[in-house]
Amino acid sequence: MSLGIAQQLSESVQALKNLPGSFRYLFDKTAEAYNADFVLLDLSPGLGAINQNLVATSDYFIVPASPDVFSVMALESLSRVLPRWHRWATNAAQLDALSGADYPFPKPDLKFLGTVIQRYRLKGGTATEGFRGYFDELDRAVENILTPALAQAGLVLEAEKYQSAGMDASLRLVSIPDFNSLITNSQQARKPVFALTKEDTESRGFVWDTQKASIDSFRALFESLAERIETLTT
């Protein structure tokens, strides 16, 4: 609540002037201490003051989506919300009370990297018929609604940058199907799915062969995702 009040752009609230810039200051100092190249923030699907602050003060953002009607609707909502958050951050960075605070509010330079479509089932190596239609709807929503709104607000990279990462107009970074039983093994072993071993799954024979194929597939997906992010952010 205090952050929400501080972000109303009122220079009269001197006691709260350090709050809007404090998150970014913490991340920058932590990254510096650990020599980290990337700081990844996994946000809840909300539009409150904390998410507004974290998104607006980030360098880049990725939109996760599922092939369903709710994600299509969410993309339309984000096309209105994200430009508004960016305008707020631009104004906030120009306020003496915030730019001159002990934890200064940074000048925003936010850019959209793309979408990650996840949580769907495969059949014969492709998404099942029930999901495929929503893949098309998500791609159209990104291409025709979200990206134009973000481009008008200056929140997208140059087209050549996306092309160099092998992305088309849908700006989809990667599609990640359900992990199924591997997610349980991942949580128990406290490892990413793509790093699981035979010992972690306690499987053998045909079951392990099937799981190993899935693990290798997920490793390839995440390596591709990482390479695209590096290309886009270099």
Domain locations in the chain as residue ranges: 2-178, 180-234
pLDDT tens per residue, range 5-25: 666 655 545 667 888 899 999
pLDDT tens per residue, range 35-60: 999 999 999 988 888 999 999 999 99
d(CA 125, CA 128): 9
Q: Give 178's pLDDT tier (boundaries 50, 70, 90).
A: confident
pLDDT tens per residue, range 86-107: 999 999 899 888 888 899 999 9
pLDDT at 13: 55
Residues 103 and 36 sit within 8 Å (Cβ to Cβ): no
Q: Are strands 111-118 and 60-65 parallel, antiparallel or unpaired?
A: parallel
Using the structure block, give the residue that is written with the tokens 């597939």. Answer: 217
Cα–Cα nearest to 40, from 58, 18, 63: 58
Cα 84 from chain centre: 18
pTM of this prediction? Answer: 0.88
Q: What angle, rounded to 10 degrees, do the helices at 129-141 and 69-93 form?
A: 30
CB atoms within 10 A of CB 225: 17
Using the structure block, give the residue that is written with the tokens 């001197």. Answer: 14
